[in-house]
Structure 1
Amino acid sequence: MARITGFLNKLQWLQIELTDILEILIIAFVLYHLLVWVKNTRTWFLLRGVIVIMGFFGVAAFLQLNTILYIAQKSLSVIVLAVVVVFQPELRRALEQLGKNNVLINFFSPVEDESQGFDEKTVAELVRASFALGKARTGALMVIAREIPLTEYEKTGINVDAVVTSQLLINIFEHNTPLHDGAVIIKGNRVVSATCYLPLSSNPTISKDLGTRHRAALGVSENTDSVTIVVSEESGNVSLAVGGVLRLHLTPEQLEETLDEIREKKVATVKRGWILKKGRRQNESKKVDHE
């Protein structure tokens, strides 16, 4: 009781001025936008790695592991520089957005849910569109967003914001149409953007037989946890890329089953039996068609 009384007596001397309220509002405003920025980029997953390292050093400090603390102290400047280099693309985009956007409007705008999943109807529409495009020898790239946001890739394309249907996807990738070039990005059950540019895989061991579409599919799957359906323009074959892993020459049943497993977040089951492209496969019976 005495402690509570002493605490209340201290509060009586506490004076809150207008400047204190202003500082609290400014700090809350900055922290809010910082958290929104982290959520809408891959920075959150990188930040989790940094938090793990900091937690490791915190445990070392608690247990007084002096050798580890000495190494951490001497490596501090290098670690700070490495963090800046790793986060450089995200920091640059954040500063660009700060100059372009009206932060007061964005402050009161709702935060979009990036982690929504897709349903069975979307799976059926994707399978139907993929093999219809393959039958017509029409190349296509369809990227399905999962936990990691694809905001940076969405911005390179044209906003669509339409429900996923096979007719829409076929029409988008039809030759000589304005939206056919590039990738389509799907979030949940909606096509959010078309004609998007994707990063090509920089893995030097990838088979030379792979065309640009397959390399782009592998590239985005190496940088994010997205799932990408690839339709070959030359052969009409349908492939799937996730986690830097590529499965080739799928049947409609295989594609539907795999997408269903992903939809149910059974990633371990999905990866079973897949072939990781590392150079030319010695026992490959089918040659991957050039795009």
Structure 2
Amino acid sequence: MTFWEYIKQAFNGFGWSDVLELVIIASVVLFVFLYSARHNSLFYTYVLAAMGLIVFAVTFADLGSFNVILLLLLLILYTFGTILLFNAELKRDVFKRSWKSLLHTFSMSGEGYDLSEEEVDANIANIVKACQNMSKADVGALIVVVRESISDSVLESGTMINAVISSELLETIFFPKSPLHDGAVIVKGNKIIAAGCYLPLSQEQTLAKELGTRHRAALGITELNPTVTAIVVSEETGIITAVYDRQIKRYLDGQNLTKALQYAYNMELPSSRDTFWGVDGHAE
């Protein structure tokens, strides 16, 4: 019996339940394969390819009830493997869809956002001034602007400050001999909430080599919380970078940094934000 005759014979006894079973298994395999490939998890991609071949072989094998049991076991392995390996990415994708719909509705409402347009402009001006001064002095900085909320574990890793934003205070915090200069500053509304905070580092493998730990931390926090904007000042080059929803904008001057911060404070329409940051969430 040739291979094609075997395939034809295997399909002769197929019913709707068999077709449904194959469609479900194939869909799960394809989803996880594409998701892992998208996030550069090559090893897991190879494992899934091997397991897919096993599924294909088992489907056409006459193993009785064991066939169903093995297929269910593989399905469970796919599911748990995806959740464990891509926990951060899945969380980010889910949060991005839910948070964006809420933010379009509630805009600047909530604790810390009862600010006038003039007050927001003053906050932005202070952050821009501090970043430009630190850029000229080759002082590194990492500032996270929070629109709604951020993980308690991030805040607890630093020192609570709860002080009104000023360029002088930001520059003092990031002064090289300051005990808080290595961590991130968390800003919400018109307050510096905390300083010296540790952020999760992105595992993105395609990140440019010239981008250091601060940039990887900025990307990491936006992967987990797509509503925040992270501003990085490089101590090596003085280049100012903004990161939002896994997208990276480098070489920012005062005007573009102001625009990024306006989006961070949700002062612009979503369509304008898409024009500035681009669409689909891909880093430059």
Band the TM-score falls in, shorter-chain normalisation: 0.5 to 0.7
Against the structure 1 CA distance between its residues 117 and 153, is the aligned structure 2 distance closer, same or farther, given a 3 Å change threshold? Answer: farther
Q: Tell me the equivalent position of 1:116.
A: 113
The aligned runs of 1:109-188 (5 Å cut-off) are 116=113, 119-188=120-189
Q: Tell me the equivalent position of 1:203.
A: 204
Q: CA deviation at 1:262?
A: 3.5
Against the structure 1 CA distance between its residues 209 and 268, is the aligned structure 2 distance closer, same or farther, given a 3 Å change threshold? Answer: farther
CA RMSD of aligned residues (A): 3.0
Alpha-carbon distance between aligned partners in 1 of 2:114 and 2:255, rounded to the nearest angstrom: 21
Q: Tell me the equivalent position of 1:30.
A: none
TM-score, length basis structure 2:
0.56
Q: Tell me the equivalent position of 1:256.
A: 258
Q: Which runs of 5+ in 2 are unaligned?
A: 1-71, 89-109
Alpha-carbon distance between aligned partners in 2 of 1:142 and 1:121, rounded to the nearest angstrom: 16
SS in 1 for 2:124: helix
Per-residue CA deviation, residues 227-251 of structure 1 (Å, 9 max, x unaligned), is 1110000111111001000100000
Given candidates 233, 254, 267, the residue that maps to 1:231 is 233
Q: Tell me the equivalent position of 1:189.
A: 190
The aligned runs of 1:41-60 (5 Å cut-off) are none
Alpha-carbon distance between aligned partners in 2 of 1:143 and 1:129, rounded to the nearest angstrom: 14
Q: CA deviation at 1:257?
A: 2.0
SS in 2 for 1:260: helix
SS in 1 for 2:218: helix
The answer to whether the 8 Å contact 1:199/1:216 transfers is: yes
Alpha-carbon distance between aligned partners in 1 of 2:114 and 2:261, rounded to the nearest angstrom: 11
Q: CA deviation at 1:252?
A: 0.3
Per-residue CA deviation, residues 143-184 of structure 1 (Å, 9 max, x unaligned), is 011134332211100111100100000000001111111100
AA aligned opposite 1:182: G
Against the structure 1 CA distance between its residues 267 and 170, is the aligned structure 2 distance closer, same or farther, given a 3 Å change threshold? Answer: farther
Q: CA deviation at 1:272?
A: 2.5
Alpha-carbon distance between aligned partners in 1 of 2:135 and 2:185, rounded to the nearest angstrom: 16
The answer to whether the 8 Å contact 1:174/1:180 transfers is: yes
Alpha-carbon distance between aligned partners in 2 of 1:273 and 1:256, rounded to the nearest angstrom: 12
SS in 2 for 1:184: strand
SS in 2 for 1:161: strand
AA aligned opposite 2:186: I
The answer to whether the 8 Å contact 1:127/1:252 transfers is: yes
Against the structure 1 CA distance between its residues 150 and 116, is the aligned structure 2 distance closer, same or farther, given a 3 Å change threshold? Answer: farther
The answer to whether the 8 Å contact 1:117/1:187 transfers is: no
The answer to whether the 8 Å contact 1:117/1:146 transfers is: no
SS in 2 for 1:143: strand
Q: Tell me the equivalent position of 1:272.
A: 275
Q: Tell me the equivalent position of 1:240.
A: 242
Q: Which runs of 5+ in 1 are unaligned?
A: 1-73, 90-112, 279-291
Moved more, 164-173 or 175-184: 175-184
The aligned runs of 1:31-110 (5 Å cut-off) are none
SS in 2 for 1:259: helix
SS in 1 for 2:142: strand
Give the fraction of aligned pairs with identical amino acids, expressed as a percent. 35
Q: CA deviation at 1:78?
A: 5.7
Alpha-carbon distance between aligned partners in 2 of 1:203 and 1:182, rounded to the nearest angstrom: 20
AA aligned opposite 2:262: D
Moved more, 204-213 or 163-172: 204-213
AA aligned opposite 2:191: R
Q: Tell me the equivalent position of 1:213.
A: 214
